[in-house]
Amino acid sequence: MNITREDIDALNAVVKVDIVKEDYSDKVEKILTDYRKSANIPGFRKGHVPMGMVKKQYGKAVLVDEVNKLLQDALKKYMTEEKLDVLGSPLPKSQDDLDWDADSFSFEFELGLAPKFEVELKGKTPITQYTIVADDKMIDGQVEHIQKQYGKLVSEDAVSKDSEITGVFANEEKEINNKATFTLDKIKSKTAEKSLIGAKVGDVVTLKTKGLFNDDHDLMKFLKVAHDDAHGLDVEVSLTIEEVNKRELADLDQELFDKLFGKDVVTSVTDLKTKIKEDSEKQFGQQGDQKFLNDVTEYLVEHTKFDLPAAFLQKWMQTAGEDELTVDQAKEEYENSEKSMRYQLIEGKLIEKYNLQVTFDDLKTFAKDMIKVQMAQFGQMDPQDKELEDIAARILSNRDEVKRLSEQLMSQNLLELYKKETNHKVKEITYDDFVKEFYS
């Protein structure tokens, strides 16, 4: 067997594999001999079928199968030994005139080669890393939410500004018939608010859905309409009022604090606000980190310049999936996934350069830490190491879980790298401003 490579350019190559009879003949002969021993052909005793007949019936199929196995093994070994960094998989060049009756064969494969490039983390323009803080307005809102949640409902005669209304929304044409509970602060329409204030149990109030709530998604929740129908819904609905209540706020006392956080963990309103701030900002930190990770990713893709073997990749995509794609479909698929492919190459370069590879021990430690956090949420503050080992072993026996945890740990490793190595500036922002700026 002889393997040669012709580099078309920096990103494309053709590998030629020449196979001669000596490479496959012994293997083919052995398989056919085994076939002869077990073949059941009418007119012949088992094991006594003429070899000529076996070769005539099975020879071509065995030859094709063995040559293909030989090809795949040879290509894999060659790419490993030559340390070829390829994208996609080798594509066999079409050979309509291949003669399987010949003794020797030549096959050619197109390769898409990974580009050579360097990644520079310290750019000229600093990337913003947001530190999301819980301001007094938000903390006070959380305190009021707790008081409402643990307060008690007091029945009212008529709807007032602070009422909690329970009723049935209905519209026969749109097949709306849903019981819901809402407060007037959800209502955007001043006309609707005016119609509701003063209404009593048993009253039927007609409301227009357009601009009814502050958020159109509330139509999905309170009227039970589909997402696509909720946006721009402009019909009248009747609201039959079944209950009118006012929620009396719970007292901020030790009994409530102990119910929320455990005995004597929080002993004052000041402690409560500090606890809310700490817990909120811990959660916000994850959102801020994800935003920073996304921004660095975008920066690296935008500023790390290299070419890809686009024509090869589009051709490869035509047959890489379960369903074969047309030329136009493969082009569209390539354009949709190009940014992702570029970042995968950049990430691979960073993992190698900064030795960020995830080992099994790293993964086990990560899994145990995650388990400890989850157990703490259910009050198990000091689990035994054997218990953690057993749970981690069960998790890591699942291939999908291993993949998921590996991706999480790698994201964590990259985040730490970016915080250490990139040119970035830290900006403090309230949660409300963060949401308005990036998610509105």
Summarize pLDDT for 242-264 with one digit per residue, the tens: 999 998 999 999 999 999 988 99
How far does CA 2 lie from the centroid of its chain?
44
**How far apart, in whole angstroms, are the C-alpha atoms of residue 361 and residue 376?**
23
pLDDT > 80? residue 281: yes
As a whole number, mean pLDDT of residues 25-30 equals 91
Indicate the average pLDDT of the chain: 92
264: region left, alpha or beta (phi > 0 left; psi from -120 to 50 alpha): left
Q: Does residue 415 carry a pLDDT above 90?
A: yes
Through-space distance between the first and last CA atoms of the chain, rounded to whole angstroms: 63
243 phi and psi angles, rounded to 5 deg: -145, 145
The predicted-structure confidence for 391-413, as pLDDT tens digits, reads as follows 999 999 999 999 999 999 999 99
Residue 174 pLDDT greater than 70, yes or no:
yes
- Confidence band, pLDDT 50/70/90 cuts, at residue 414: very high
- Torsion, Cα 393 399 400 403, to 10 degrees, reads 90
Closest CA to 69 of 110, 31, 115, 112: 31
Residue 411 region by backbone torsions, left for phi larger than 0, else alpha for psi between -120 and 50, else beta: alpha
User: What is the rounded average pLDDT of the residues 75-99?
Assistant: 91
H/E element, 340: helix 327-353
Kind plus residue range of the DSSP H or E element containing 12:
strand 12-19
Express each pLDDT in 317-333 by its tens digit. 999 888 999 999 999 99
**Amino acid, res. 293:** L
- Res 113 pLDDT > 80: yes
Q: How confident is the model at residue 34 (pLDDT cuts 50, 70, 90)?
A: confident
pLDDT surpasses 70 at 272: yes
The one-character DSSP state at 250 is P
Residue 240: name the closest of 331, 326, 170 by CA: 170
Q: Which long-range contacts (CB under 8 A, 24 or more apart) does 284-291 make?
A: 284/132, 284/133, 284/134, 284/431, 284/434, 285/131, 285/132, 287/132, 287/434, 288/129, 288/130, 288/131, 288/132, 288/434, 289/415, 291/130, 291/434, 291/438
A 10 A CB-CB count for 32 gives 19
pLDDT attached to residue 440: 61
Q: Residue 230: pLDDT band by 50, 70, 90 thresholds?
A: confident
Task: Tell the burial category of 154 from Cβ atoms under 10 Å away from its Cβ (0-12, 13-18, 19+).
Answer: exposed
For the stretch 176-225, pLDDT in tens is 999 999 999 999 999 999 999 999 999 999 999 999 998 888 999 999 98
Question: pTM higher than 0.95, yes or no?
Answer: no
With a cut of 90, say whether residue 310 has pLDDT above it.
yes
Which percentage of the chain shows pLDDT scores above 90?
Answer: 79
Model pLDDT, residue 366: 93
pLDDT at residue 94 above 70? yes
Q: What's the confidence (pLDDT) of residue 101?
A: 87
> Could you give the C-alpha distances from 357 to 120, 348, 380, 393, 409, in angstroms and in order?
19, 10, 32, 20, 10
Dihedral sign, Cα of residue 263, residue 269, residue 274, residue 277: positive
The pLDDT-based confidence of 36 (bands split at 50, 70, 90) is confident
Distance of CA 332 to the CA centre of its chain: 21
Split at pLDDT 50, 70, 90, the class of 376 is confident
- Tell me which of 91 and 55 has the higher pLDDT: 91
Rounded to whole angstroms, the Cα distance separating 25 from 12 reads 33
